[in-house]
Amino acid sequence: MAMEHPLIKDCWFREINDEHFPGQALMLKVVEILHWSKSEFQDILVFKSAEYGNVLVLDGIIQCSERDEFAYQEMISHIPLFSHKDPKRVLVIGGGDGGVIREVVKHDCVESATLVEIDNAVIELSKKYLKNMSTSLNHPKVKIELCDGFRYLKDAANSTDEDRYDVIITDSSDPDGPAEAFFQKEYFELLHSALKDDGIVIAQTSENIWLDINYLKNLMKTAKSVFTNTKYCYTMVPTYTSGQLGLVVCSKDENNELTSPSREITDREQNNLRYYNASIHSASFVLPTWADKVINQK
């Protein structure tokens, strides 16, 4: 290999994080290191893997791979967008790789999509190495704001009703350092204020039922203290440790069921999707009995 990285040994990348993934690790075979640098905000690694295409790693944690990224991007995007009857204004916090934005602009009803990303290096590297994900970053409906997502949301929370959002998607990093603010009660309060009266928010939980279910229980409790209509669902992502990633969905409209699409998915829309469909939308909210009792406190 032309370059070396402390997490790559004998051509294998090792994701080892005892804080978030105690007692387990994830390994991918590396063909070539494409990029390694430290931006103002984080350590950024991009490598070509043997089976999963190009892989983006931030601070030692895999963010996405070309092979399975759509499973995450589609679910975190289309669950809230199809749960809303007419989403026009969408805000995406994080997600500089462009995958969520790519999914958002597939909806003809969406008139504007704002992407808030703190690290421009992620955007530029994604344009170079993750071209299928970043393909819509230059879409005419898309506006990119290079700033801290928490601060941006504070301003949005104080905006007029017409400037508030129908859907907010939080595609943040794991809850360490600056990203920790995205998992606190104040953040959910800001989300509530930045949404229109029938607005929906979704956020990745950075956990799943196999990793730290008590964390999920507490996160749901925090979200429900602000949004009484809060649900937990998940998607399957092989390159995420243990293969599953949780999502928390909240609506200001207490009558919005969330667990099934609120509008019909057209054949044209479905033909543009690889993972999401109406059945998997509903199925993703169904939890094993033991997990359902803990997360939903039954």
Q: Are 133 and 165 in contact (CB under 8 A)?
A: no
d(CA 73, CA 171): 9
The single residue of 68, 97, 119, 171 carrying the catalytic annotation is 171
Structural tokens at position 18: 């005892």
Q: Are 120 and 89 in contact (CB under 8 A)?
A: no
Structural tokens at position 268: 């044209």
Q: Which residues, 6+ apart, have CB-to-CB distance to 218 below 8 Å? A: none
Tallying the residues shown for the chain, one arrives at 298
Amino acid at 281: H
d(CA 157, CA 168): 12
Q: Are 115 and 287 in contact (CB under 8 A)?
A: no
Residues pairing with 93 in the sheet = 116, 170
**171 given a catalytic annotation:** yes
Q: Are 1 and 11 in contact (CB under 8 A)?
A: yes
Strands 89-94 and 112-117 turn out to be parallel
Q: Are 57 and 46 in contact (CB under 8 A)?
A: yes
Q: What positions carry a catalytic annotation?
A: 171
